[in-house]
Structure formats: structure tokens, C-alpha cells
Structure 1
């Protein structure tokens, strides 16, 4: 039986939001997933998400994602390391995944998965990023986000929406490293996927054919993820450099008077 404790509000750091969105936009064919790290105020039942862990998918599906116990353990170890580094009680407190081309609302499977996590931690929370939703009127893609928990019912758990607040914060090094590591994770997924598929194939032509598809997939990641990511980070670097120079001039104007 899950405790009747529910979150009142979730505060999501803006750099974590950027990392999750970047991850969600890497593919419009399968769902992606990750875990959320931060602190929970047990007095106010408010969750403060300050970091995320991008998970390696062993099985790519267009309509579902699963988190293995090994991945949960790895994320917990990452949270412990971050807690020691920051000297704060940081732990795994939620999960996120994407809904490409479909509504932002959690499915029955999502709600049941969330309910399972809440059996271990009543204040565990879920985020869903709906991406690649076409707005025909404005000819643009929409991005939506929902924050939810599961509430107990007699027949089956139901969705319970939680207020979400995005806190404007500068990029922290550990979240920037997570974004920079994203292409490596995606490439490793492709390598592992083709390695499993090709393990029992003895035909050289078939192996060559599959290797070609793996190469195409990796090139696609480089062109659609790595290159735009590098350009975005370079633009951020230039903007920060301009900001630093402006602040230096402002400091000089104050000291000269």
C-alpha cells in the first residue's frame, strides 16, 4: 500500500529542462527516458530537481520505455557522487520520458509505471515531454510538458497532475557534461543494437549490409545531434563572452567614479 503522501509542487532547474528537451528532440521515432535527481522538502512536499541522468536504451520502442534495476542503481550511484560533491542530500526523485507525435498526457502504462515507483518512494514524480506535435495553423512544432504522480483508486491508479515551476538558473557543469555526452550515448545504443542483431549472422554480405545501416545511423546522429549541439554550445559560449565583457565595462565604470 502506497502512503497517502503526494507532492504539492515541483521546481525544475532550467538547465535540467534544457537537457531533457535536448534529449527528447533527438528522435521522433522512439521514446527516450532518463532519471531526475535533486532534493525533496519533506515538510512542504516540494521537489527540487537539479540534475538528470540520460539513460542508455537497450530496447527502442515508439510507444513505451522501461527502466531496468541496473539503470536505477547506476543513477543512484551518480546521485550519491553528486551529493558528496555538492554536500547536499541529493537522490533520485523522478523519471522523464518523451511522447513523440502524441499527446503529452500519460498513458495507462505510464500511470502504472509511476504507481510502481511510488510504492518505493511516495514522492517520486514523472515528467513527460511531448515533442514533434505539428501545429498546422502556425506551421510549427509544439513542445509540451506535464508533471504527474499516480493516485490510489480501487480498480487501478489514476493520473494526478502536479504543479511544475521552471527555475531560471545558469548551466551547471554536471548538466552541461550530460548534454555533451548525449551523442556518445546515442551512438553506443546503435552499436549495441547492431551487435546484438548481428551476433548470430554468419553471412558476410548480410553483415556488410547491417554494418552499412549502422554507419548511416551514426552519421545521422552526428549530423542531426552532434553538429547542432556543438553549434548551440558555441553560440552560448560567445553570448557568455559578450556578457562577461559587458560586466567588466560596467565594473570599470563604477570603480572609475
Structure 2
């Protein structure tokens, strides 16, 4: 009689893919939130965070974010992010840190999606118009979320006046506040993760979060860039001109607040 091999059941699903916007990263508690979330999720940071750290010294930073600014500076210099699943896009592939299993078209999607947002902003505001630091950070966060569409990204931002991400997204696509039923679904999803990783006490301590779910189906079918072309935005990119695809076509977003966690 043939012995059957033991039955093995995999209970671990794919990791969450989460994007942290700059306003949240620099908000009180944002640094710890990022690292604790990265214990169980792939957490992505936009390169605008590094630009902000490189362009200012601690003395010139708003006192409200000085602690987080210093924490990120120290973590970056002393490699304290090693061992956490914290990833980012740099100015080149060599300066980027990405998961080993991410698809090869990820950086190309990111650069093209950012380029489209930038070109749309110039078209709507005139060629003499330039992005503010907030706009560039929001553009970076949204492009990162769009590039992660194959991985069902969740974007986290802070529920505070310093964050303009929701306003930015609302100017570029349909943005709706999720229903109460959606909030209950989200609570069931985040509740065990937040308690397990010590995020709950950050919420009790005053951290306020908004969650954004992005839908951008055309971002998943944009043509690939020719291998010999550079794709590091803001350099121009020679994309296939036949049957062009706008990755933001038919895009929409839904958001809700996690304030109920502390009620």
C-alpha cells in the first residue's frame, strides 16, 4: 500500500504592500509606525522623504516634526533600517531598495506614472508653473501607489492639516469616502495587526491615520520601456507611441479614517 505524503497547508498569505507618505513619515509617531508596520508588511517610502532629509538641517526644520526628522536621519545614516522590510525608490536602480520578488516593470511603471502626473499638472497650470514641495511629495506617493497596483497597495497618510494627499488625489481622480461597512471590514483587517505589532499604542498616543485604497487598472497594462532607454524620471522617456496607454485612465480612490481605533 502506497503511503501518501503528509498534507501541508500554507496559512501565510502574501504580505501587504503599504505606502507611507512624507507627511505621515514626519508626523509624531510616523517613524515608529513605519517600522512596526514593516514587521509584517512590505512598506514603501517615496524618494521625496530622502530629498527632504538631504535639503534641510535639523535646526531649520519645523519644531513639530524635528523629532521624526532626526530619527529618520539617524536611521538612514547608521543603517538602522536594515532588517526591516522598508523599501524605497531612489534616483537610479542602484539607489533603490526593493523586494527581491517585485516584478521587473515596477520602476518603469513608477517613473511613467509620475511623468504623467507631472505633465498633467503643467498642462492644467501652464508651463511657468512649478510643483511645490507638498505637490511633489503627493505626486511621488500617488505614483508609488499606482506602480504597486499588482500588489493591491494600501496608502497610509496622517489625518492632520499638514497632509494634503487626499486633496491632491481628489483633483486627479474620483475620490470617495468609504462606507461604514467598509470601515468595519478594515477594522477586522487592521485590528489584529495593529495590536500584534504595537501600533495601537501609537494611535492612543495621538497618531491619526487615514487609509487610501487606489484603483488604477490601466497602470497594470502600460507598455514596457525599451531596454536601452533610461527611465529615471524626470528625464524624458521614449515610450511606444502606437496605442499609448495612460496609466491613470479610469483611476479612482477610496479613503477612510482609523480614528475609531482610539474611541
Structure with greater Cα Rg = 1
**Higher strand proportion (structure 1 or 2):** 1
Q: TM-score, normalised by structure 1?
A: 0.27
State TM-score, norm by structure 2: 0.27
